[in-house]
């Protein structure tokens, strides 16, 4: 059975590709390699270098006729979206429409869409549910919310099945500080450089940090479950950035300094996603605590191989 992963040479995408190959699927990757690295890809994955908003991508999907398309390709830098909203919309809105139209014409059964917790904006909730209002405060989050609505309408008009996954703050081995990189990846880069860890604001802002292996498991479960659902891929637990620093200090033997900087425009103060609906509909639950996931990630920073057994937990 054929599967297509857009953005499959990226951080989350490459982990997903590994998971699909390990389950016996024929996996095709569509990636323009702007931030993706072909060196991350499983040797059995087939790479097609193309932009998602191109006729070349349409042609690939038309010829391949995959069972499912996992649409992860995106312009994922929040600050860049604020500086270049047109570029952001071209990649994330027009690119999604192009993928949807290609899926419709090729008879693809289902699209699985990687969205974000950022679509809620800065709602004052201790824990967000999928029924909470969407109120993006950045162009990146707005583009993801728009993509979600296009997907719903493609199902309404054309019957293209979908699962929309709103990811929490994903981290893990292989993540870089650019592109898809979050605060964990930035801290890893600074640790490698021997530089202070930058914290924008007071460090009391919280995130729902979720390990990439748990994200892959939820995304794989969407092949057979969660049709026409919007679901949170999260731990349901929030941790502050200061807590994250304390955890890294426990793992790292050398002194770690912190540099507190002004908060970034568009940054959300608190984010924690309820995952009860996801547990039920995908028959999934996260397995890694933040401590366990960070230990694996830290080993990767040190260059210690993360064995296959580490990913069969």
pLDDT in tens, 121-158: 988 888 999 999 999 999 999 999 999 999 999 999 99
Mean pLDDT computed over 276-293: 98
The band of 109, judged by pLDDT with boundaries at 50, 70 and 90, is: very high
Q: Assess whether pLDDT exceeds 50 at residue 309.
A: no
Q: CA torsion, points 167, 137, 190, 178, in degrees to nearest 10?
A: 70
**Nearest Cα to 291, choosing from 255, 244, 241?**
244
The pLDDT assigned to 266 comes to: 77
Highest mean pLDDT (candidates 67-81, 103-117, 165-179, 298-312): 103-117
pLDDT for 215-274, tens place per residue?
999 999 999 999 999 999 999 999 999 999 999 999 999 999 999 999 988 788 999 999
Q: What was the pLDDT predicted at 179?
A: 61
**First CA to last CA across the chain, in angstroms?**
26
Backbone angles phi, psi at 264, to 5 degrees: -80, 145
In percent, the amount of the chain with pLDDT more than 70 equals 96
Residue 176, pLDDT score: 87
Q: Coil, strand or helix: which one is 231? A: strand
- Please determine, for residue 313, whether its predicted confidence score (pLDDT) is greater than 60: no
Range of the domain at 186: 2-305+307-311
Active site residue 120: no
- Residues 297, 1: Cα–Cα separation, whole Å: 32
Q: What band does 164 get if pLDDT is binned at 50, 70 and 90? A: very high
Question: So what's the pLDDT on residue 159?
Answer: 98
- State yes or no: pLDDT of 107 exceeds 90: yes
Enumerate the β-bridge partners of residue 68.
3, 110
Q: What is the mean pLDDT of residues 150-167?
A: 98
**From CA 126, how far away is CA 112, in angstroms rounded?**
27
Between the CA of residue 255 and those of 39, 250, 268, 295, what are the distances in Å? Answer: 33, 10, 29, 18
Q: What is the pLDDT of residue 18?
A: 98
Sheet strands (E) in 13-141 = 26-31, 46-49, 68-71, 110-116
Q: What would you report as the CA-atom Rg of the chain, rounded to the nearest whole angstrom?
A: 19
How many contiguous H segments (helices) and E segments (strands) does the chain have?
11, 13
Give the mean pLDDT of 85-92. Answer: 95
From the CB of residue 240, how many other CB atoms can be counted at a distance below 10 Å?
16
Query: SS3 sequence, 22-38?
Result: HCCCEEEEEECCCCCCH
Mean pLDDT of 39-51: 97
Distance CA 63, CA 198 (A): 46
Cα–Cα separations (whole angstroms), residue 90 to 51, 99, 121, 146: 11, 13, 21, 12
pLDDT averaged over the chain? Answer: 93
Nearest-angstrom CA–CA distance, 69 and 112? 6
pTM: 0.93
pLDDT class of 24 with cuts at 50, 70, 90: very high
How far, in Å, CA of 156 to CA of 163, rounded?
14
The residue among 140, 112, 262, 283 whose CA lies nearest residue 199 is: 262
Q: How many domains would you assign to the chain?
A: 1
For the chain, give the percent of residues with pLDDT over 90: 88
CA dist list (Å): 96 to 120, 147, 150, 171: 20, 6, 8, 24
Closest to 171 in 3D by CA, of 253, 257, 241: 241
CATH classification at residue 105: 3.40.50.720
Q: Which of 140, 162, 167, 211 is catalytic?
A: 140
């Amino acid at each position: 059975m054929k599967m297509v992963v857009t953005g499959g040479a990226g951080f989350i995408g490459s982990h997903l590709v590994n998971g699909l190959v390990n389950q016996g699927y024929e996996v095709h990757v569509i990636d323009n390699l702007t931030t993706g690295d072909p060196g991350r890809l499983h040797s059995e994955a087939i790479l097609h270098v193309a932009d998602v908003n191109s006729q070349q991508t349409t042609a690939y999907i038309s010829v391949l006729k995959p069972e499912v398309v996992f649409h992860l390709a995106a312009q994922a830098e929040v600050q860049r979206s604020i500086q270049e909203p047109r570029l952001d919309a071209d990649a994330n809105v027009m690119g999604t429409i192009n993928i949807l139209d290609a899926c419709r014409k090729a008879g693809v059964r289902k699209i699985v869409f990687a969205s974000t917790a950022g679509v809620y904006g800065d709602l004052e909730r201790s824990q967000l549910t999928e029924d909470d209002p969407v109120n993006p405060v950045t162009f990146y989050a707005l583009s993801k919310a728009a993509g979600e609505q296009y997907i719903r309408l493609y199902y309404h008009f054309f019957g293209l099945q979908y699962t929309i996954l709103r990811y929490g703050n994903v981290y893990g081995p292989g993540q870089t500080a650019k592109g898809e990189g979050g605060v964990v990846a930035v801290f890893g880069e600074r640790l490698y450089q021997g530089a202070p860890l930058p914290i924008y604001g007071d460090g009391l802002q919280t995130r729902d940090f979720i390990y990439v292996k748990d994200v892959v498991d939820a995304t794989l479960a969407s092949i057979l479950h969660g049709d026409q659902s919007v679901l949170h891929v999260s731990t349901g637990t929030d941790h502050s950035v200061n807590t994250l620093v304390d955890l890294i200090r426990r793992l790292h033997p050398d002194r770690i300094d912190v540099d507190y900087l002004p908060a970034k425009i568009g940054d959300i103060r608190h984010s924690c996603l309820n995952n009860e609906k996801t547990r039920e509909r995908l028959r999934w639950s996260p397995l890694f605590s933040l401590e366990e996931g960070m230990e694996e990630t830290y080993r990767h920073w040190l260059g210690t191989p993360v064995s296959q057994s580490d990913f069969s937990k």
